[in-house]
Amino acid sequence: MNIVVCVKQVMDPDTPISAFVIDEVEKKVVPAQGIPPVVNGYCENAVEAALQIKAQEGEGTITILSLGTDFVMDVMKKPLSMGADKMILIQDEYVAELDASGIVNVLSAAINKITDVDLVLCGQQASDWDNAHIPMGLAENLNLPCITSALNIEHAGDKLLVQSALPDGYQTLEAPIQSVITVNNLFGEPRYPTLKGIMQASRKSPEVWSIADLGIPESDLKPSMILSELKIPISEGNCEIIEGEDDADSGRLLALKLREEKII
């Protein structure tokens, strides 16, 4: 089975708020100095899912596909050191101008360019924008069924059995092998790269494409959504301490205050 896993390089979610800076003029997040990016956590879960499916099959190819501008190779090679076979990076300065629909069109064209793709796996969402737009858009463009929030995937004959997470449990869905599936963190902890995997990954060179290599019409790259403003939200609140002679008196004074404010 040939599996494509879409992976995204993101700002480290553990970046302290003091180091998080937004350029309000350019409407973009400024990379934190001294804090390297990471592979999106849900994308690592998707890589783990691909590795488990390949282990079930005993054979197959896992291709990592990513779109971006300033890739850090030590970061992006992590899926290779986990056990993925190949990596294709679409590196282009124009990526910064793309919205979700443009990204979907670029990734769709790239997947169509890769021969004999059976299954497309994605992380449930990315930790930077948290939109979860891309997988559904890929399924629409590729005319494939889409199952979200997978916590288990089994290959059974000519179909897949997928457990999809619900707020109070999960549902088991049947899908053709050619599908788009998003994976969440309930799938299991991604494996750590081994020393052997790291050494093997260091000898692999990603294949680098540009958007021009994909022959995408310019109309498919024009944004359909305009980002008008980007700011860090300001949280303002007033705290009033109500103290009485004892707990009972404090409760009485609190009740009077809440009634005065017409909360109760």
- Determine whether 19 is exposed, middle or buried from the number of CB atoms within 10 Å of its CB (0-12, 13-18, 19+): middle
Q: For residue 113, what pLDDT is reported?
A: 96
Model pLDDT, residue 134 = 95
240 domain-assigned = yes
The residue among 150 and 240 whose pLDDT is bigger is 150
- The verdict on 246 and 191 lying in the same domain is no
Q: What is the pLDDT of residues 80-120, one digit of tens each?
A: 999 999 999 999 988 888 999 999 999 999 999 998 999 99
- Same domain? For 155 and 188 the reply is yes
141 and 190, same domain (yes or no): yes
Q: Are residues 121 and 83 in the same domain?
A: yes
- Structure tokens of 56? 């079930």
**Tokens encoding 127:** 């930790």
pLDDT at 227 over 90: no
Query: Do 204 and 238 reside in the same domain of the chain?
Result: no
Could you tell me if residue 226 is inside a domain? no
The β-bridge partners of 80 are none
Return the closest-CA partner of residue 61 out of 39, 80, 43. Answer: 80
Give the confidence band of 189 by pLDDT, cuts at 50, 70, 90. Answer: very high
> Are 215 and 254 in a shared domain?
no
pLDDT for position 248: 92
Query: Looking at the domain assignment, is residue 14 inside a domain?
Result: yes
Instruction: Indicate if 169 and 263 belong to the same structural domain.
Output: no
Is residue 225 one of the residues assigned to a domain?
no
CATH code: domain of residue 176: 3.40.50.620
Pair 47, 104 in one domain: yes
Residue 237 has pLDDT above 80, yes or no: no
How many domains does the chain divide into? 2
CB atoms within 10 A of CB 2: 15
Mean pLDDT of 211-231: 91
Instruction: Let me know whether 251 and 163 are in one domain.
Output: no
Most confident of 48-52, 219-223, 230-234, 243-247: 48-52
| Residues 114 and 241 occupy one common structural domain | no
pLDDT at 261: 87
Same domain, 15 and 106: yes
The string of pLDDT tens digits covering residues 128-149 is 988 899 999 999 999 999 999 9
Domain range enclosing 37? 2-220
Question: Is residue 227, in this structure, part of any structural domain at all?
Answer: no
Residues of the chain with pLDDT > 70: what percent? 100
Residue 27 has pLDDT above 90, yes or no: no
> Mean pLDDT in the chain?
93
Q: What is the pTM of this model?
A: 0.86
